[in-house]
Amino acid sequence: MSSRSRTRAKRAPTPELLSLIAARFRALAEPARLAILHALEGQERTVTELVEATGLGQGNLSKHLQQLHAGGFVSRRRDGLFVYYELADRNVLALCEIMCGRLESDLVTSHKIVSTR
């Protein structure tokens, strides 16, 4: 029965590591935060501008920004009263694009929208 460590895991990722990675993904697992990241694509913005761009409440938006900042997805810079947020890493966009790519594939595969055909 090969009772012992028959499992052929290449390297066992510790539960702590998995939790950290999962937390990162969780930061992107929210439409509101994706909208924020999209609004920051290519340009820095103040919280007020993001409120206008996303339609989120100010307090709510600020909380999302804290999460994105804690996750290292955005950086901030203070200028007087305003705080300017900007994307801290281009990998973020890469992640979203991969997801979008997967999404398109599945939508086409399934049998709906896209292409007249």
**Which residues in this chain contact a copy of itself in the complex, by CB under 8 A?**
6-10, 13, 15, 17-26, 28-31, 33-35, 38-39, 41-43, 49, 52-53, 72, 89, 91, 94-96, 98-103, 105-106
Distance of CA 49 to the CA centre of its chain: 20
Segments of 1-117 assigned E as strands: 45-46, 74-79, 82-87
| 82 touches, from DNA, a copy of itself, none (C-beta below 5 to 8 Å by class) | DNA
* Residue type for position 82: F
Q: Tell me which of 37, 40, 56, 74 binds DNA, using CB under 7 A.
A: 56
* Residue type for position 3: S
Decide: 40 and 54 in contact? Cβ < 8 Å.
no
Contact set with DNA (CB under 7 A): 26, 30-32, 46-48, 56-60, 62-67, 76, 78, 80-83
